[in-house]
Amino acid sequence: EGVVILDWDGVILEMNQKGKALLGSVSVGDPLFKLEMMKGFRSLFHILKETRIPQKGTAVGEKRIAYFELKILEARKRVLATFNDRYEHYQKQQLGKDFVANASHELRTPITIIKGFAETIYDLPKISEAMLHDFTEKIMRNCERMEGLVKNLLTLADLDYLPKAKMQECDLVGLIENCSQTLLGVYPKIQIESLHNREEIIIDGDPDLLELAVMNLLENAIKYSHLEALITVTIEDQTEVVSLKIADRGVGIEEEELGKIFERFYTVNKSHSRQMGGAGLGLSIVKTIVSKHEAEIEVTSTPGSGTAFTITFEKTTSLLR
């Protein structure tokens, strides 16, 4: 915790390293009141001096939140202020609230659609066979959408609390081949071209998580390339790193959107995403998996020409050549 000793006027006399890190732009000799994040501090400081009763409060600044407690050091007529950093705790709380709110929002639409068609079928006992088929097809499609959303939500929840990925030697060339064959069975009109400078390119990784990340990137490329495009996968074994690049020739992404695409529930084209059954979780899953592997992911895109995602893995000592 951060510890600060103040004189009777609120001027800093001493503070430890944690206190300096939490409070930022103040030093010994400065009044603590001058900090923007300490707006409520002055009144609590005066109450403490008048009542001699310890006071507690919260200091809020840009990317800084700290709980503090004030006590009088009677022997020296000084005030002891202790600070506990709560920003990370606040971030986790906020993330949880946003997660629940976004999940509820995404589930509301398919539930409303299913309910509407089910009520129509219930209220129209003499509904035609063609209309019944149409309604049930829409109900099934929205059930599948909810199933996919719930699956992705559970995946993200698991990833958030997983320890560091279970590392073992993985052949990226073979992994790409397996993913490509799986997707070609689902999307027969697409082409996936695999380019690599070695027959086997080995990295340390969790094969299950890596496959999930690659499948998400490939499916994303397919869906935004009108299901009939050429997807190019390039794997390069370099001196100290291995890079994996997945590029499409699809609709592309506007520059101002690029910084947001890894956020949970964020979709560039919401109408297209709903049509394709997406809820904006796939790239968030990819980003989390990449982080678990202590790797980096970058995206480049030109609207109308396509998008490329590049993951860079650092080689471990055993794989350096």
CB 83, CB 1: distance < 8 Å: yes
DSSP readout, 177-235?
Answer: HHHHHHHHHH-TT-EEEEEESSS--EEEE-HHHHHHHHHHHHHHHHHTTTTS-EEEEEE
Residue pair 57/66 in contact by the 8 Å Cβ criterion = no
Least confident of 73-87, 185-199, 305-319: 73-87
Write the pLDDT tens digit of every residue in 128-155: 889 999 999 989 988 988 887 788 777 7
Domains, the chain: 2-85 (3.30.450.20), 90-161 (1.10.287.130), 168-319 (3.30.565.10)
What residues contact 196, with CB distance under 8 A and at least 6 apart? 172, 173, 234, 235, 236, 237
Could you give the maximum distance between any two Cα atoms of the chain, in Å?
90
Tens of pLDDT along 81-106? Answer: 888 877 677 767 776 777 777 677 77
Query: Residue 128: helix, strand or coil by DSSP?
Result: coil
Closest by CA position to 234, among listed 321, 176, 191? 176
* pLDDT above 90: percentage of residues in the chain: 27
Q: How far apart are CA 129 and CA 117, in angstroms?
A: 14
Helices 282-292 and 207-223, axial angle in degrees (round to 10): 150
Across the range 271-282, mean pLDDT stands at 55
Share of the chain above pLDDT 70, in %: 86
pTM above 0.95, yes or no: no
What the block records as the tokens of 136 is 């049930």
- pLDDT at position 262 over 60: yes
What is the structure's pLDDT at 79? 86
